Amino acid sequence: LAALAYEDAARFFEIAVDTLPLAMPAAADIELELLLALGDAYVRSGDTPRARAAFERAVASARRTGNAAGIARAAIGFGGLG
């Protein structure tokens, strides 16, 4: 049952990430946070391929803005994929 809640959360994070550029084009910090949360939701729901993709997108987002802490947080997410 808990995995289903994380699947629902992942769906909502996907919607947020996809619509963010329309609502706030210069919101790289928000995009990064959403991608990290999305990766975490996918990890918790057991969807490793999608979690990996979300963390890869988070790394790319953090690199675009030079956010070293964001890169580190995404790397920690990757580490949780085991």
What secondary structure letter does DSSP report for 27? -
- Is the pLDDT at 1 greater than 60? The verdict is no
Task: List, for residues 3-39, the tens digit of each pLDDT value.
Answer: 678 888 999 998 988 888 877 767 888 999 999 999 9
Q: Which two tokens stand for residue 51?
A: 């979690």
Q: How many helices (H) and strands (E) does the chain have?
A: 4, 0
Residue at 18: amino acid letter: D
Q: How far apart are CA 72 and CA 75, in angstroms?
A: 5
The pTM (predicted TM-score) of the whole model is 0.80
Quick one: pLDDT at residue 82? 60
Mean pLDDT, the chain, whole residue set? 89
What percent of the residues of the chain are helix, what percent strand, and what percent coil, each to the nearest 5? 85, 0, 15
